[in-house]
Structure 1
Amino acid sequence: MSADDEIVNPSHGPRFTDLLALAASRRQLLKLGAAGAALALFGRSGAAADAPAAAAAPAAALAGLPGFTAIATSTEDTVRVPPGYEWAVLTRWGDPVGAQAGQPRWRSDAGNDAAEQALQFGMHHDGMALFPLGTDGTRALLALNHEYVDHGLLFADGMDGWSAAKVAKSMAAHGVSVVELVQADGRWSVVSPSQYARRITAATPMRLAGPAAGHALLATAADPQAQTVLGTFNNCACGQTPWGTYLSCEENFNGYFARTAGEPTALEKRYGIREKSDYRWHEHEPRFDSALHPNEAHRFGWVVEIDPHDPAAVPVKRTALGRFKHENAAVTLAADGRVVVYLGDDQANEYLYRYVSKGRYAPGMARAAAGALLDDGTLSVAHFGADGHGEWRALVHGRDGLDAGNGFADQAEVLVKTRLAADVRGATKLDRTEWVAIHPGRAEVAVTLTNNSGRKSADAADPRAPNPHGHILRWRPDGADHAADGFAWEVFVLAGDPQAEDASARGNQPGLNAANTDAAFSSPDGLAFDARGLLWIETDVSTGKLWHPQLAPKQGAYQVFGNNQLLVANPDTGEIRRFLTGPVGCELTGIAFSPDLRTLFVNIQHPGEPLDANTEFNDPTAPQRWSQWPDGPGGGRPRSATLAIRRTDGGPVGS
């Protein structure tokens, strides 16, 4: 989710909506069915079309599989899946992670303190990844992060009596959890105690690495050498490396800082730091006051690498991957073995990035040595050409205006000021770049553009101004090589209501044909290919903007889309089916599959999300009462949780 959609990128790069209009007129996207859209992308003239495709069979058409029965939208306060499937709660906020025997259990009155919370799952599960242990498929590690907290749920009395103890608990509810799982008879459970179990919080020491490590812009009074940062927070989605580590992505870090004296600097404004902070940590942790510690904010907004196999391993902030509001980090290898990471900046009118390492990865490399490949490479930003071809523009100091004259004294400054460097390079503004997903069998990449309610102009390919529904685009790198500087791009689907009378609300999806009118969805967010090449889509229609029941008479969108949902798409046919609907007020986050595809792990984040994040839970009129999931009326309060979903006959999920 993005807490700062109202912050607008002031640069003058081309808007993606303008490019869509030009591209649509050339390729007549709105006249194409799914097959035509695929041909427009993968059969266009030029380098991409002539390049050999990766040697892999495309995913079979969903219509040709035994498949599942698509489900309808839902407004129920529960999880719904197709007939023949079942779901179970695997982890909840407040459950012990199993780091030691006799850990404190969940307290329904939210009365646990910071020390207890630091041994329990944090609040608001988001990106997660599964790391198999052994070869028999019965054991694995699960790493998942905790994006943010609702203080009205975290404390029995909300933010009343704000104190250092409350700040400590809030910080302990952020970060990452690593747990060990075991499977028996097709069902997974958490191992407790476990030698692998671990909590990483907003106070955990972690190392800086890459070009910005040791730089004066990251130096503070507590860390003058700019080598060690305390904590990570607002971790959104994630990534998984070939060498078995977890990449956690710091997104809306700006909301934790406040400038209590003087005007925010131009750089602070560009990243959204203001005079106030909703979290109010700065009142008891002075490092979050930018007037007192102006460089502390520079130490956040990075990708954090965590080794889930070694609880003693210090997390590493990889500064070569840039500083912005990271959504996820999709990792693959170039044709020559170099590491490639695709990264989105989740805010309206921001950019899509790609990192290519200088060194090459070799299977079997030690995790520490492989991780260092993320410290030396080239970060680039995407420019989408109107002819359907795009290019990656390198963010390298001393080239293309990235010099001292434009405020970049060295490469470290380019990375600390990544957004400003991308402005200089004329990157294409996008409608909130969120998750990036890489096809497992061919050089094809997709990205969700969740929405952009601030858009002012419409175009032929997306006749909505503003754009509350978002879309998904995809591209193929030239020569089927992820390190190539060029790529062919196309719109896969424009989200919306295919049956809406108002054209501004109708998707007119070029990749979503008439057969998919029962799969209407808005605000695509989470995105993942499974091992077969099927594309899984999670939605995040924000509470209070479109769909909450209390606002339904005003907007009507709740009756169309219902609660947020998980869908599965065939990228070759364009067919989309709705697979899961979540409880009231939730967002669907995190996607992971067991190696045999027989279990799908999905997170339910912020069920019963309040319109006012600081409303007291014990107020009988509080918005949190909109959901009692997953524990029901006697459970105390709604809790974010991880689901394990399986077919009742034990077959692969989604087939």
Structure 2
Amino acid sequence: MTTDRKLLPMLGHTRGNRSAATCHFKCGNACAKDVCNVSGNAYFRDIADSALSRRALLGLSGVAAAAVVIGTETVAAPHAAADFGGWGQGGGKLPFRAIAPVERTADVVTVPSGYDWAPIIRWGDPLFKNAPDFSLTRQSAAAQAGQFGYNNDYLNILADRGNARSGVLVANHEYTNEEIMFDPAWYAENTDEARRIAMAAHGFTVVEVKRRKAGQKWEYIRGGKRNRRITATTPFAVDGPAAGSELLRTKADPRGRRILGTLNNCAGGTTPWGTIISGEENFNQYFEGTGSATDARYGIAAEPSERGWEKVDPRFSARNEGFENEANRFGWIVEIDPQDPTSTPVKHTALGRFKHEGANIRIAADGRVVAYSGDDERFDYVYKFISKKKYRPGNRPHNMTLLSEGDLYVARFTGDSPAAEVDGSGGLPEDGNFDGTGAWLPLVVDGVSKVAGMSVEEVLVYTRLAGDKVGATKMDRPEDVEPNPVTGKVYIALTNNTNRGVGSNAGPDEANPRSRNRDGHVIELTERRHDAASLTFGWSILLVAGDPAKSESAYFAGFPRDKVSPISCPDNLAFDSRGNLWISTDGQPGTIGYCDALHKVDLTGPQRGRVRQFLAVPAGAETCGPVIHDRDDSVFVAVQHPGEGGTFAEPLSLFPDYVPARGREKRGQAFAPRPSVVQVYRTDAGRRGRHGKGSAPHESGHDGGRGR
């Protein structure tokens, strides 16, 4: 295995300092390829003069929507912790002094003073009593199938009812980094086995956890009764209107109702009935396509796949007879039951097929379930599913059928400012806000296709094409879409889109106001009458991300620019018990030069828009799956791809064990960076308030911090 241009075609072409390895292994070099959405559908500029007023859409009954207007002055933000908001809970239960941003080369985990961190579980940790201990030099597919997978992304800790000392940890495993997982010499002689190991390292882990009492550190239980690995070969059931469709049938599954495995699972959510749902995102990179128009719309290349899995499993090539539809069997929302290791996970076709970042649920006023999801691609769309049946509290078997049947919609955003005032610079329109109204455009309603020329099955299997036809708004990589459990407002992370306004691509609009949008933004969406089942909404941009010291267009809901932490590339979203927004990032090293991080954002009162950085992850890593258990004084994150961009011989990170380079061989065991789930917790000193105003954040790493 090499790291030359053949392996990493983005070498020399990445944005800023983004790793070429990230582009290759995470999304199959998407930025090096043509934009998937070349449709000519209408978008914001074409529908700016909506006949419906913002007030009518929101159903505000004469009560004006609140707006914050800021002046024109821009102030460079000095990068010192004292300027990032200082002390104060800001409506939350985790008081902390914001840390300063951490330089992108620092191989440390940085948390506020008064807090510490520890890994709960790491890549390769054995889940079962008969699973072998992890060995970097003695890996096998069979061993990996019994161990914690690679590149953990979505995460949750579910405490058992009535017992705060036990529960389960659930994480999905998005993709693999072969360049730092395997010794190149071994890989060259064992390439097929390495591919099988990678297949076993994808999917999900469910593992039991325990702690001494509430508020203390969790530990995973080897051999727990609910422990489970789901991989790229685990059988999944298929349900919903497209189950059994000819578009899903293959030689291995002539009925189109049983799919092996799940791929590239990114974000996710926990349902009100306690199951886990997750999205299959960049699945295209695993397949060799045929060059068809539908393949092109999903980014499936008519060439050997990025990972070469078709060399060990024929279903990964559409050129193999009988497997022409295999790629259609990925790109779905999947649901697993973390309490029952014998249950069959499900792929839900009613929610449509695209590069789901994840899905998150609200209960509508009439009891129906509403699931929001973003399609993580440049110029793709935001979707909403509304179940046919209603949620029944306490009736888990019934509730586990709610995602099997319902209506599917896609979003159109309309701004309320003249198009001339949205010039691509990111400067605010004259009314002082990027805002407007929107509508959920029907794709499938009451079991009937609402897209001309497409059947229900075609709409659900080729959902992107359906969105093109109805004129959905082309967005800047909509990733996590999360409803606030306290206020009901919905937040959309738009990570970035450096192709906005370039060449023949769609130009800026009020919902995506910056050309060459490197830093991304966050939209706040309010459903009409605050009902999740509404088909109209109001929206405004909460944050236009960036480093205020370098970007005059960075905007923080009107909060002073010199009092915020710099933030770029918003990815996963979460909320604390009081409804404050927490944002994890994916790409800050390449845009603003700092390690990826987790930030807290106040949403109400005079502090609205205040961004404060809570932690930073090590060099090469991404911050994923934040979970905020502020009642337990804990924050959890999945530290994904630490050391990405390095090599097996010369790792950029030694997280989380921080074994010194000279000690990487110990009793025959080699060491490498290992993606891990991390718990950040308040120390006794933190609970007593001993971390004074001028104290420094706590760092742990191999460059002088305390090793672990």
Would you say 1:521 and 2:567 are equivalent positions? yes
User: For 1:617, which of 648, 656, 668 is the aligned residue?
Assistant: 648
Question: CA separation of 1:133/1:412 partners in 2, compared to 1, >3 Å: closer, same or farther?
Answer: same
Tell me the equivalent position of 1:295: 325
Of the three residues 526, 531, 541, the one matched with 1:481 is: 531
Q: Does 1:608 align with 2:640?
A: no
Number of residue equivalences: 590
Which amino acid letter does the alignment assign opposite residue 288 of structure 2?
A
Matched, 1:372 2:401: yes
CA 1:19 to 1:139, structure 2 compared with 1: closer, same or farther past 3 Å? farther
CA distance in 2, matches of 1:423, 1:646: 46
Unaligned runs of 5+ in 2: 1-25, 64-86, 417-435, 502-506, 665-670, 690-708
Structure 1: distance between partners of 2:688 and 2:175 = 33
Q: How does 1:594-605 map to 2 (within 5 A)?
A: 594=629, 596-605=631-640
Deviations 1:370-415 (A, max 9, x none): 1211111001000011231100011128978624xx3x2x311110
Q: CA deviation at 1:647?
A: 1.1
Question: Does structure 2 conserve the Cα–Cα contact (< 8 Å) formed by 1:19 and 1:385?
Answer: no
**Relative to structure 1, is the Cα distance of residues 51 and 526 closer, same or farther in structure 2, using a 3 angstrom cutoff?**
farther
**Deviation at residue 451 of structure 1 after TM alignment:** 0.1
Task: Classify 1:386/1:87 alpha carbon distance in 2 versus 1 (closer, same or farther; 3 Å).
Answer: same
Partner of 1:420: 465
Q: Which residue of 1 is the match for residue 295 of structure 2?
A: 268
Structure 1 residues 89 and 228: CA distance shift in structure 2, 3 A: same
Question: Residues 335, 516 of structure 1: CA spacing in aligned structure 2 closer, same or farther, 3 A cutoff?
Answer: farther
| Structure 2: distance between partners of 1:458 and 1:161 | 50
1:37 matched residue in structure 2 = none
What is the TM-score when the length of structure 2 is the normalising length? 0.79
Distance 2:188 2:673 in 1: 20
Residue of structure 2 aligned with 1:224, choices 246, 254, 267: 254
Which residue of 371, 393, 396 maps to 1:363? 393
Q: Distance in 2 between matches of 1:211 and 1:400?
A: 11
* SS of structure 1 residue aligned to 2:110: coil
Aligned partners of 2:511 and 2:326: how far apart in 1? 42
How far apart, in 2, do the equivalents of 1:315 and 1:257 lie?
22
Amino acid at match of 2:58: A
1:151 corresponds in structure 2 to: 178
2:357 aligns with 327
Listed as ranges, the matches of 1:322-401 within 5 Å are 322-366=352-396, 368-387=397-416, 388-396=436-444
- Deviation string, structure 1 residues 267-299 (Cα, Å, up to 9, x no partner): 001001111311100012110011111100010
User: Equivalent of 2:656, from 626, 630, 651?
Assistant: 630
Give the conservation status (yes or no) of the 8 Å contact 2:448–2:456. Answer: no
Q: Distance in 2 between matches of 1:223 and 1:462?
A: 42
Residue 170 (structure 1) aligns with: 198
Task: Measure the CA separation in 2 of the matches of 1:67 and 1:498.
Answer: 24
Whole-Å separation in 2 of the counterparts to 1:113 and 1:306:
26
Q: In the TM superposition, what is the alpha-carbon distance from 1:154 to its structure 2 partner?
A: 2.6
- Cα pair distance change 1:236/1:590, threshold 3 Å: same
CA distance in 2, matches of 1:279, 1:243: 36
Distance 1:19 1:122, change over 3 A: farther
Cα separation, partners in 2 of 1:651 and 1:446, compared to 1, 3 Å: farther
| Residues 1:220 and 1:533: Cα distance change in structure 2 (over 3 Å) | same
DSSP-derived class of the 1:385 partner: strand
Q: Secondary structure at the match of 2:529?
A: helix
The equivalent residue for 2:241 is 211
Question: How far apart in 1 are the matches of 2:520 and 2:329?
Answer: 31
On the 8 A contact 2:278/2:358 being kept in 1, the answer is: yes
Partner of 1:566: 598
- Asked if structure 1 preserves the Cα contact closer than 8 Å seen for 2:264 and 2:281, the reply is yes
SS of aligned partner of 2:458: helix
Aligned twin of 1:497: 547
1:402 aligns to 2:446 (yes or no): no
Unaligned runs of 5+ in 1: 27-42, 54-59, 548-556
Give the counterpart letter for 1:72 in structure 2.
A
Distance 2:510 2:348 in 1: 40
Instruction: After TM superposition, give the deviation of residue 202 of structure 1 in Å.
Output: 0.1
User: Does 2:557 align with 1:511?
Assistant: yes
Give the AA of the match of 1:276.
Answer: P
Alpha-carbon shift at residue 508 of structure 1 (Å): 3.2
In structure 2, the CA distance between the partners of 1:255 and 1:52, relative to structure 1 (3 Å rule), is farther
Q: Structure 2 vs 1, CA of residues 598 and 174 (structure 1 numbering), >3 Å: closer, same or farther?
A: same
Corresponding residue for residue 694 of structure 2 = none
Distance 1:52 1:154, change over 3 A: farther
Query: How far has the Cα of 1:462 moved from its partner?
Result: 6.8
Aligned to 1:640: 675
Does 2:355 correspond to 1:305?
no
The alpha carbon displacement at 1:197 in A equals 0.3
Cα 1:181/1:528, change in 2 over 3 Å: same
Contact 1:52 1:480 in 2 (8 A): no
The equivalent of 2:668 in structure 1 is none
In the TM superposition, residue 162 of structure 1 has moved relative to its aligned partner by 5.3
- Counterpart-to-counterpart distance in 1, 2:449 and 2:263: 33
Q: Is the 8 A contact 2:43 2:412 kept in 1?
A: no
CA contact (8 A) 2:120 2:219 kept: yes
Match of 2:288 in 1: 258
Q: Contact 1:448/1:526 (CA < 8 Å) preserved in 2? A: yes
Bigger shift: residues 273-282 or 348-357:
273-282
Q: 1:513 to 1:595 in 2, by over 3 A?
A: closer
d(CA) in 1 for partners of 2:293, 2:513 = 34
Partner of 1:114: 141
Q: 1:333 to 1:462 in 2, by over 3 A?
A: closer
Are the counterparts in 2 of residues 603 and 643 from structure 1 also a CA contact under 8 Å? Answer: yes
The equivalences for 1:68-79 within 5 A come to 68-75=96-103, 76-79=106-109
**Shift in Å, 1:464:** 4.0
The 1:626–1:163 alpha-carbon spacing in structure 2 relative to 1, beyond 3 Å, is: closer
- For residues 559 and 259 of structure 2, what CA distance do their matches in structure 1 show? 49
| Residues 136 and 182, structure 2, Cα contact 8 Å, conserved in 1 | no
Amino acid at match of 1:530: D
User: Does the CA contact (< 8 Å) of 2:548 and 2:561 recur in 1?
Assistant: no
Deviation at 1:651, TM superposition (A): 5.6
Q: Is the 8 A contact 1:175 1:232 kept in 2?
A: yes
Aligned-residue sequence identity (percent) comes to 40
CA RMSD of superposed structures (Å):
2.7
1:145-174 per-residue CA deviation (whole Å, 9 max, x = no partner) reads 000001112322275235432222110010
Equivalent position amino acid for 2:478 in 1: T
Q: How does 1:565-584 map to 2 (within 5 A)?
A: 565-572=597-604, 573-584=608-619
Q: For 1:272 and 1:305, how far apart are their aligned partners in 2?
A: 25
